[in-house]
Structure 1
Amino acid sequence: MAEDKKAFAEESDKALAKSEGLTLKDVLFSYWGTPYPVTVCSVETFQALENLEARRDDTVLVSYPKCGVNWLIQILCDLIFTAIQSKPVSTELPFIECGDPDKYQRRKQIPSPRILATHLNYDCLPKSIFKNKAKILVLFRNPKDTAVSFFHFHNNVPSVPSYSSWDEFFSEFLNGKVSWGSYFDHAVTWNKHIEDDNTMIIICEDLKENLTASIKQIAEFFGFSPTAEQIQSIADRATFQAVKDKAQETHGAVGSILFCKGVVGDWKNLFTEAQNQEMDANSKCA
């Protein structure tokens, strides 16, 4: 597992290095009307994405950026290892839309169980995920905290282009002009499928409030049967602080930013009342 962590951290550091010297305008490209970061995505990779052959026992994790999916990946890795004594292999970026076009051929060689993470909308996922009935866990987070966390990521990582102000970022976020596009479009597409078979919704705030209960719920959804003692041990190892303490080892230089605060309600430190009302209006529309 040490080699897996090292490889993943190296991939993260390579992505950061690609950001050096780029402006906000240069860091994004558009594919099917949605902006994506050139540092980890490409047109060629999106065109090859349908070549991903999903398996029935794949674990698919979906979230908009900065909603806690990297934390959830760590939890799920521990859960899988505890339940079946097999650790998912993660030698490259786990997000299916990130990386080079040949990654889908390499993934064929990875033994089950595999974790397939993504920030994509429902309609953008490879059809094999639905055809082969892989289970999909969708993670949501309060859009206000999501926006603040996204802003801090841009402005706290030295090599990532910064926004001139919170107000500038807020406007771009609200209009879907940030990486992976609109939070609200993402939420709309997935909300339409919350009753689908093999799909489960989990809320980041619920993970924070009762990690043990959330892990039990996730285990039941994926058909794992850990004991109560095992679930509690996973929860003890997977507190946000515990994961944050190991973030540089597991995620490279970006780790301390990916696991920055994890605070519920941090949006209150940046939002004006007008911005609060504007986002509430957008959330109701979604």
Structure 2
Amino acid sequence: MVTENKDLKKALEGDIKAFQSLFSEFQPQLKSYLYRLLTDRNDTDDLTHDTFVKAFDKISTFKGNSEFKTWVFQIATNLAYDFLKKKRRWLPNAQDQAKSLAMSTEYIQQLFVMTNKTSNRGRYEVKEHIDFCFTCISKTLSIEEQIAIILKDIYAFSRTEIADILGKTEGVVKHLLFNGRKTMIEIFDNRCALINKNGACHQCTELAGIYNPKQTKQEELMKIKMVKSSEKESKEKLYQLRSDLVAAIDPLNSEGADMQDIIMQCTRLAINEIETIQN
């Protein structure tokens, strides 16, 4: 049933200020979620705005069968889903392509250095690159798997809530989570040099050396629980530790948010998803 929340009652009556008050309570999380799906700040801003407009326009259809936040996330997810259907899935080697592009393109290297030196959100830390890596690998999944994984493992939505958001049964959501995690665990195990000495991806340690030259790499790495536990924990436990770390980071507002965005743009340029990097 619809709660006795005064703002919700007013919003249902068409009070846009009351609606805005409700929306603002979870807007930062909504934007962070959309950015992880879309990997573009402008697209994220656009879809957040579109979600606000559509949700307010459809407020009379909200019957209180779910939390208001869940209902709004459903609208945002539908918009993101339609947007993502036009895009190709990323390949697991997208980061390798980005690294090759960056190493061969002087202006991209200059963007990295300038962002690191001039932006108050240009700081680089390994944990934030792990967050970036999680987003990249999640984009190798089907759209529904990606949505389910991010909602459950990063934003702690329940399977029931995710079923409402996706318009699926809880059984289907359970299946999406199982398959999505299985794929991500396999990719991480084969690629991540932080948890597998034979891993193909060394970007975390290499970038740490570039942007924190005075920092002892091993000391920084050993601060990360996932790395310390890599030799004794199961693959499933390492995935959980990784997702716990990612859940604690807001990719739009962390100390390395601007650096992460430049690296993300470089990746998108490398896989031909965009034509240039905007800074």
The reply to whether TM is greater than 0.5 is: no
Higher-helix-fraction structure: 2
| TM-score, normalisation: structure 1 | 0.28
| TM-score, normalisation: structure 2 | 0.28
